[in-house]
């Protein structure tokens, strides 16, 4: 039944047995779970053992890309991993711009990789088309992300996609992430530790094959038309020029231009939000950094660091260790309070904790990544620290959801305080806090209500539901009801492999997604079919987590969100009450037809 | 129609849309390895290379939105 789009095979790697094998992508699996994120979730549901410890040899993780990845449909490079995560304890999706890895995986002949077991020494998985082997990674172990990738690139003639962990992942830190092609991040919640616990340093893939589509003429027409929409977008050049700084101008354009080397893009993306920068002067002059966004590089300035180049250098170090910067700063803020109140004692050789100081943060980044001194305690993440230190520590904790610090809200990194779908979604997504756009119109912009109907239609929300979301007079916003459909839209884009960032997903709509999917795969798919399938994906995701212990206590709204300088109501900008947010949660469950 | 393809390597983003367009047209598959234009990445740089099989059709330039590739019609001589 599958006639195109899919590479057609799932690669299994059992690290304990040092064995690899493949199986075909089952027709029914492809039809019912769409691909990419959807199939990752279904495979995880089938293969992750009930109650498994995230860092045990029995833990299994699934990687995958959707059926549009590898084609020229604009910005279709998104990749996902699903695993039980050590920080949250839930089974979570981890999403990343696939850069080259996603497409290379398809060209090598695989849609998904399932990794099980644990190697008895450091290894990496090397994939060259049909040839897959598990290689010794002794020489890579101990290296940061950049050096790991460079060591791979050095030995190859052609381009390769690389997923790698740094020292934080090797040391099984709950704030460790994996990096895709040293740029995109995979896994708030400790996905890097999941790889590290398996002694898996990296996955390297090179593919020389190709992806065909079922109906070339129809697919090419859709793709060409879509590319023209991007071409005619009046802000395209501005996005290409500024990247994510267009949305969040955290530093002056002058500072940005002084360091910008070039714009880079995931395969097939005509916008490009990744970039290469070079520090122009000062003690770190000449440092080159590949990043998923210059925005990230200036995050330390949100915590009071003054020098932009010190900020860039610090994030370069955190990325190299393979650490989640949001968790790092959240933990350091808490550790500062714990040390100040005497709950913990720093050792004499440990520097004072000062979030505004480069030397302090740089030293602490290393201590956590290498588990030195107090860094060993902090490396296990919020939940472990609070459990170990008891009630005395809890009053010093920032807002936490499933043991992870959200990106926005009081004390968090981003200067964004409107409570839209992404903010409520920090609580109601089983994976816990994340920075993956759900593609709704409330995403990082204050938009007038008049534009909502067109966006809601684009997301595939039926007309009769729009009244429930915006009210019959279209003058209200029921964030909880909208989040239910934002989760479905996110699942649709993720299952196909399309980027959900606002500057990209604005060109997509559910009808177009269904047509592109059908043209690529040959699987008969109406818009309604696709809607039902992605609802199945998200429902499976929730059911899997309920099976693994997700309950109301893990979906509690943090009290810190409703104190002074807390979140604001999206439409009015008035302070948001906990009662209002609780009502949104009820509406979310009601819209799904689930018990909350 | 044949085109003079000019390129500015500094503008290349590595999106590979040029390779996808070329292979779609001539290999009937999205297959960068089969494209007549190669994008080699080395550190922060990309190198744009045309193979001897390039027929100068300009599809690659049509698909570049970063200003790395442009095309101008070649004069036809009798």
CATH number of domain containing A579: 1.10.599.10
Chain-centroid distance of CA A302 in Å reads 21
Count of C-beta atoms within a 10 Å radius of residue B9: 13
User: In the structure encoding, which two tokens stand for residue A34, read together?
Assistant: 């769409």
Q: What is the pLDDT of residues B34-60, one digit of tens each?
A: 999 999 987 678 999 999 999 999 999
Chain B residues with CB under 8 Å of A266 CB are 15
B35: closest CA of chain A, how far (Å): 11
Compute and round to an integer the Cα radius of gyration of chain B: 12
- Position A414 scores a pLDDT of 82
Chain A residue with CA closest to B41: the answer is A159
Q: Which of A264, A266, A276 to mutate to test the interface with B (most CBs of B within 10 A)?
A: A264
DSSP summary character for residue B3: E
CATH of the domain at A186: 3.60.9.10
- Confirm or reject contact between A266 and chain B (CB < 8 A): yes
Where residue A268 falls (left for φ over 0; alpha for ψ -120 to 50; beta otherwise) is left
CA distance B15 to chain A (A): 4
Which residues touch A109 (CB under 8 Å, ≥6 apart)?
Answer: A7, A8, A9, A129, A130, A207, A209
Runs of H (alpha helix) within A435-557: 452-458, 463-470, 479-496, 502-505, 510-521, 527-547
In a domain, A425, yes or no: yes
- The alpha carbon of A131 is separated from its chain's Cα centroid by a whole number of angstroms, namely 29
Q: Is residue A97 part of a domain?
A: yes
A507 touches B at CB < 8 Å: no
Instruction: Count the neighbouring beta carbons within 10 Å of the beta carbon of residue A271.
Output: 25
Q: Which residue do the tokens 């439409």 mark?
A: A571
Task: With respect to residue A459, please indicate whether it lies within any of the assigned structural domains.
Answer: yes
Taking an 8 Å cut-off on Cβ atoms, the answer to whether A272 and B28 are in contact is: no
Interface contact B33-A210, CB threshold 8 A: yes
Q: Within an 8 Å CB–CB cutoff, is residue A261 touching chain B?
A: yes
Q: Buried (b) or exposed (e) across A116-125, using 16+ Cβ within 10 A? A: bbbbeebbbb
Whether A240 maps to a domain, the answer reads: no
The rounded radius of gyration (Å) of the Cα atoms in chain A is 23
Q: Are strands A274-278 and A123-128 parallel, antiparallel or unpaired?
A: unpaired
Q: Percent of chain B, pLDDT > 90?
A: 86
User: Is A174 within the bounds of a domain?
Assistant: yes
Within an 8 Å CB–CB cutoff, is residue A290 touching chain B? yes
Of A208, A261, A267, the CB nearest to B16: A267
CB atoms inside a 10 Å sphere around CB A553 = 8
Does A287 contact chain B (CB < 8 Å)? no
Contact B24 A220 (CB under 8 A): yes
B 41-60: CB under 8 A from A: 41, 43-44
Chains A & B: contacts with CB separation below 8 Å: 83
Chain B residues whose CB is inside 8 A of the A68 CB are none
Please provide the CATH number assigned to the domain covering B3-73. 3.30.70.20
How far apart are alpha carbons A351 and A361 in whole angstroms? 9
User: Phi/psi class of residue B16: alpha, beta or left (left: φ > 0; alpha: ψ in -120 to 50)?
Assistant: left
pLDDT at B77: 63
pLDDT attached to residue A565: 82
Q: Quick check: A85 and A91 in contact, CB under 8 A?
A: yes
How many residues are there in chain B?
78
Q: Å from B74 to nearest chain A CA?
A: 24
Whether B44 and A261 lie within 8 Å, measured CB to CB: yes
Q: Which residues in chain A (206-245) have CB-CB distances under 8 A to chain B?
A: 207-213, 216, 220, 227, 230-231, 236, 240
Q: Decide if B68 touches A, using CB distance below 8 A.
A: no
* Domain-ending residue, one of A148, A173, A206: A206
B26 touches chain A (CB under 8 A): no
Cβ neighbours of residue B60 closer than 8 Å, sequence gap 6 or more: B5, B18, B19, B21, B22, B35, B37, B69
Looking at CA atoms only, how far is residue A232 from chain B in angstroms? 10
Q: What is the domain extent for residue A454?
A: 418-592
Indicate the helix (H) or strand (E) that contains A104.
Answer: helix A101-108
Distance from CA of A264 to the nearest CA of B (A): 4
Nearest residue to A300 (alpha-carbon basis) of A314, A290, A288:
A314
A83 neighbors A59 (Cβ within 8 angstroms): yes
Is A349 buried (19+), middle (13-18) or exposed (0-12) by CB count in 10 A?
A: exposed
Nearest to A188 by CA among A520, A490, A431, A421: A431
Indicate the residue among A174, A206, A238 that finishes a domain.
Answer: A206
- Alpha-carbon torsion (A37, A43, A46, A52), positive or negative: negative
Query: Is the CB of residue B15 less than 8 Å away from at least one CB of chain A?
Result: yes
> Is ipTM > 0.90 here?
yes
The two tokens of residue A88 are 């949250």
Strands (DSSP E) along A72-196, which ranges? 78-84, 91-97, 112-116, 123-128, 131-136, 161-165, 178-180, 184-186
Q: What is the mean pLDDT of each run of 10 residues along chain A (596 residues)?
A: 96 98 98 98 98 98 98 97 97 94 98 98 98 97 97 85 98 98 95 98 97 98 98 96 88 94 96 96 96 92 95 98 96 97 96 98 98 98 96 94 90 87 95 86 91 96 95 96 97 96 92 98 98 98 97 94 91 96 98 91
Whether B9 contacts chain A with CB within 8 A: no
Out of B17, B40, B43, the one facing A268 most closely (by C-beta) is: B17
Coil/strand/helix, residue A551: coil
> Is residue A74 in some structural domain?
yes
Residue A79: closest CA among A59, A93, A91: A93
Q: Is B25 on the interface with A (CB under 8 A)?
A: no
Indicate yes or no: CB of A72 within 8 angstroms of CB of B34: no
pTM: 0.97
Domain for residue A487, yes or no? yes
Out of A178, A206, A234, a domain closes at A206
Contacts with B40 from chain A: Cβ below 8 Å: 159
Chain A residues touching B14 at Cβ < 8 A: 100, 264-265
Report domain extents, chain B. Answer: 3-73
pLDDT for the residue A415: 80
Residue A400 covered by a domain: no
The C-alpha atoms of residue A185 and residue A205 are separated, in whole angstroms, by 17
How many structural domains is chain A composed of?
2
């Amino acid at each position: 039944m599958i006639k195109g789009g899919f590479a057609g095979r799932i690669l299994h790697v059992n690290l304990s047995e040092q064995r690899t094998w493949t199986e075909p992508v089952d027709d029914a699996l492809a039809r019912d779970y769409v691909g990419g994120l959807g199939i990752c979730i279904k495979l995880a549901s089938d293969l992750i053992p009930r109650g498994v410890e995230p860092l045990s040899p029995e833990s299994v993780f699934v990687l995958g890309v959707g059926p549009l990845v590898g084609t020229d449909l604009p910005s279709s490079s998104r990749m996902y991993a699903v695993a039980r995560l050590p920080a949250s304890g839930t089974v979570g999706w981890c999403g990343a711009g696939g850069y080259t890895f996603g497409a290379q995986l398809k060209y090598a002949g695989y849609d998904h990789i399932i990794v099980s077991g644990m190697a008895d020494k450091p290894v990496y998985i090397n994939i060259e088309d049909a040839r897959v082997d598990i290689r010794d990674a002794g020489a890579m172990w101990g290296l940061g992300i950049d050096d790991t990738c460079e060591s791979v690139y050095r030995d190859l003639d052609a381009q390769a996609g690389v997923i790698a962990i740094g020292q934080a992942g090797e040391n099984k830190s709950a704030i460790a992430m994996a990096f895709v092609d040293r740029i995109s991040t995979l896994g708030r919640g400790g996905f890097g530790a999941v790889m590290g616990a398996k002694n898996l340093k990296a996955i390297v893939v090179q593919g020389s094959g190709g992806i065909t589509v079922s109906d070339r003429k129809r697919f090419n027409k859709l793709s060409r038309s879509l590319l023209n929409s991007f071409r005619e977008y009046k802000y395209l050049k501005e996005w290409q020029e500024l990247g994510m700084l267009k949305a969040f101008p955290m530093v002056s354009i002058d500072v940005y231009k002084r360091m910008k080397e070039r714009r880079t893009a995931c395969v097939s993306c005509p916008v490009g939000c990744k970039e290469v920068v070079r520090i122009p002067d000062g003690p770190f002059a000449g440092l080159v950094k590949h990043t998923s966004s210059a925005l990230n590089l200036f995050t330390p300035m949100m915590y009071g660091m003054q020098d932009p180049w010190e900020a860039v250098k610090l994030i370069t170090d955190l990325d190299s260790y393979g650490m989640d910067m949001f968790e790092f700063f959240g933990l350091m803020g808490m550790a500062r309070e714990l040390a100040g109140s005497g709950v913990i004692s720093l050792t004499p050789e440990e520097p004072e904790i000062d979030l505004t100081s480069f030397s302090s943060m740089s030293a602490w980044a290393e201590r956590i990544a290498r588990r030195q001194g107090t860094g060993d305690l902090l490396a296990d993440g919020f939940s472990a620290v609070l459990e170990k230190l008891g009630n005395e520590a809890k009053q010093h904790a920032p807002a936490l959801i499933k043991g992870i610090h959200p990106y926005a809200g009081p004390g968090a990194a981003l200067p964004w305080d409107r409570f839209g779908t992404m903010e409520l979604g920090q609580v109601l997504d089983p994976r816990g806090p994340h920075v993956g756009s759900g593609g709704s119109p409330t995403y990082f912009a204050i938009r007038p209500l008049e534009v909502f109907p067109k966006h809601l239609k684009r997301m595939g929300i039926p007309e009769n539901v729009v009244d429930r979301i915006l009210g019959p007079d279209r003058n209200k916003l029921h964030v909880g009801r909208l989040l239910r459909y934002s989760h479905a839209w996110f699942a649709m884009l993720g299952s196909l492999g399309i980027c959900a960032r606002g500057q990209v997903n604005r060109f997509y709509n559910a009808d177009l997604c269904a047509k592109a999917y059908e043209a690529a795969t040959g699987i008969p798919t109406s818009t309604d079919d696709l809607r039902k399938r992605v609802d199945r994906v998200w429902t499976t995701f929730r059911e899997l987590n309920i099976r693994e212990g997700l309950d109301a206590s893990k979906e509690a709204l943090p009290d810190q969100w409703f104190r002074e300088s807390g979140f604001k109501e999206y439409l009015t900008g008035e302070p948001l009450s906990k009662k209002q947010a609780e009502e949104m949660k009820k509406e979310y469950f009601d819209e799904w037809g689930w018990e909350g | 129609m044949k085109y003079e393809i000019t390129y500015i390597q500094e503008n290349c983003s590595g999106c590979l849309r040029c390779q996808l367009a070329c292979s779609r047209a001539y290999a009937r598959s999205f297959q960068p390895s089969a494209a007549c234009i190669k994008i080699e990445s080395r550190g922060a740089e990309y190198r744009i290379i045309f193979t001897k099989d390039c027929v100068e059709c300009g599809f690659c330039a049509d698909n570049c939105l970063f200003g790395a590739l442009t095309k101008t019609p070649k004069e036809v001589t009798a």
